[in-house]
Amino acid sequence: MTAAAPTAPIVRFAPSPTGRLHVGNARIALVNWLFAKSLGGVFMLRHDDTDADREVHDAINAIEADLKWLGLDWGQRVQQSDRQDAYDKAIETLKASGRLYPCFETAEELSLKRKVQLAAGKPPVYDRAAQALTPADIEALKAEGRTPHWRFQLEGGRVGWADLVHGDMDLDAGALSDPVLVREDGTPLYTLTSVVDDLEFGVTHVIRGEDHIANTVPQIQLFQALGGDPPGFAHMALLTGPNGESLSKRLGSASVESFRNKGFEAVALTSLLARLGTSDPVEPRADLEDVVAGFDIARFGRSPTKLDPADLEILNPKVLHGTPFAAVSDRLQDAIGEMATEAFWEMARPNLNVLSDVSGWANVVTGPMAPVIEDSEFATKAAELLPPDPWSDETWPAWTGAIKAATGAKGRDLFHPLRLALTGQEKGPEMKKLLPLIGRDRVAARLAGETA
């Protein structure tokens, strides 16, 4: 089998609304989005919200907010809770074909069966005891108040597919339990709902984590039992923490929201996630379209992939340093108001780790700040030589040239005391860009030792 390169694929991201979007799931969403966009296809958002017991209030809105922040737009949106009629129809089709059969064992009884099988050295595969029940047995169980759950009967033999990440794969269906498709309360499970929706909406490729590999065999047989062709599959290696630990155990620090709250740029996170697991270098990208341009799902490897926030701390400043004013002007306005000019951005951006750092440089410009005066005589002489307004990028070299001629100071002895007096900082933006923003009056006051 060979994984074909599709044209105009239709893919879906199907989160369960059990909380904020986890960064591992965000990576799966991103890869689906990039795969679709790179081939002129469609990215579909499908909320797997059929399990009311696991749902978290307002999680759907939170997940969508996270996706929008990442820049992942969708061409179609579906909630599975609205599609019960489609699932009921599929259930009746499977019952009529004899592939879906009722089971009455309780959770405790099934657990005991598994323990007995394991103790005997056997795999804990469902024994299909329910298929031996007579109509009288079933009526007696119902009379006891038992309600059946429904299992899909797998056909034996090996089931194979061409995986876009793992290559040719096949598993023995006989080694798996017949999956439960319908709960006792009549609600369908993920295994069924995903297949029904993939068929109806024409999904061509299912891209998901490799923890779903075991689901692929029953789902392929379900596609066939419902009269459809299975889509292509790609199973991504899972993300781990920097020390190989499961990210699911540290959800609070691994949610998309947590990275946003730390001030990281969305495109920095997507630039990192799009390359983790490949041999491609992680580089700052201007926007998602730039990320699309270098995307190829075949470049992802099979080994677990480590996500180290330290990599994001390195990448994020690089993204900001290359961000043009037009792309950030609205957010800059929210952060520092009327100071949000292109001149300010050009001055500040080479010195930012996160965007919120602009507030510190806005304070340096407008004050009040206490100057650090190393040599009062030097500061006084520098003040006497201040050029008249208006000031520009040429003011700093002209002014420091005059100070050098008058005092003989040069190099660090010339520039360092001026930076300390005007900014209170040991290092920072280019002074030729910063000086005009501070302004002549404030510069004079600081050279005089005044808090300004």
Residues 103 and 177 in one domain: yes
User: What pLDDT is stored for residue 249 in this prediction?
Assistant: 46
User: What pLDDT is stored for residue 241 in this prediction?
Assistant: 84
User: 239 forms bridges with which residues in the sheet?
Assistant: 305
Residues 69 and 197 in one domain: yes
Would you say the pTM of this structure is higher than 0.85? yes
Residues 235 and 214: their CA atoms lie apart, in Å, by 11
Query: Domain range for residue 353?
Result: 325-362
Tokens of 25: 């799931």
User: What pLDDT is stored for residue 250 in this prediction?
Assistant: 47
Residues 306 and 239: their CA atoms lie apart, in Å, by 6
Residue 63, domain CATH: 3.40.50.620
CB 272 within 8 Å of CB 282: yes
Flag whether 3 is in a domain.
Answer: no
Residues 306 and 330 in one domain: no
User: What pLDDT is stored for residue 246 in this prediction?
Assistant: 76
CB 39 within 8 Å of CB 8: yes
Residues 212 and 358 in one domain: no
User: What pLDDT is stored for residue 304 in this prediction?
Assistant: 86
Residues 221 and 75 in one domain: yes
Residues 103 and 174 in one domain: yes
- If phi > 0 it is left, if psi is from -120 to 50 it is alpha, else beta; for residue 19 that is left
Residues 226 and 274 in one domain: no
Residues 379 and 326: their CA atoms lie apart, in Å, by 38
Which SS3 state, helix, strand or coil, does residue 209 take?
Answer: strand
Flag whether 93 is in a domain.
Answer: no
Residues 304 and 350 in one domain: no
Flag whether 168 is in a domain.
Answer: yes
Over the Cα atoms of the chain, what is R_g?
31
CB 4 within 8 Å of CB 231: no
Residue 263, domain CATH: 1.10.1160.10
Residue 395, domain CATH: 1.10.10.350
Flag whether 35 is in a domain.
Answer: yes
Residues 125 and 164 in one domain: yes
Residues 122 and 149 in one domain: yes
DSSP characters for 349-370? Answer: GGG-SSGGGHHHHHHHHH----
Q: Please give the biggest Cα pair distance in the chain.
A: 110
Residue after which a domain boundary falls, among 333, 362, 391: 362
Residue 131, domain CATH: 3.90.800.10
**How many structural domains are present in the chain?**
5
Per-residue pLDDT of the chain (452 residues; tens, 9 = 90+): 545 555 799 999 999 998 889 999 999 999 999 999 999 999 999 999 988 777 788 899 999 999 999 999 999 999 999 999 999 999 999 999 999 999 999 999 999 999 999 999 999 999 999 999 999 999 999 999 999 999 999 999 999 999 999 999 999 999 999 999 999 999 999 999 999 999 999 999 999 999 999 999 999 999 999 999 999 999 999 998 888 887 754 445 689 999 999 999 999 999 999 999 999 999 999 999 999 988 999 999 999 889 999 999 999 999 999 999 999 999 999 999 999 999 999 999 999 999 999 999 999 999 899 999 999 999 999 999 999 999 999 999 999 999 999 999 999 999 999 999 999 999 999 999 999 999 999 999 999 999 99
Flag whether 275 is in a domain.
Answer: yes
Residues 386 and 74: their CA atoms lie apart, in Å, by 57
Flag whether 4 is in a domain.
Answer: no
Tokens of 140: 């007696």
**Phi and psi dihedrals of 316, rounded to 5?**
-60, -45
User: What pLDDT is stored for residue 3 in this prediction?
Assistant: 52
The label of the residue with tokens 């400043």 reads: 317
Flag whether 290 is in a domain.
Answer: yes
User: What pLDDT is stored for residue 74 in this prediction?
Assistant: 97
Chain center to CA of 75: 18
Flag whether 1 is in a domain.
Answer: no
Residues 219 and 167 in one domain: no
Residues 192 and 66 in one domain: yes
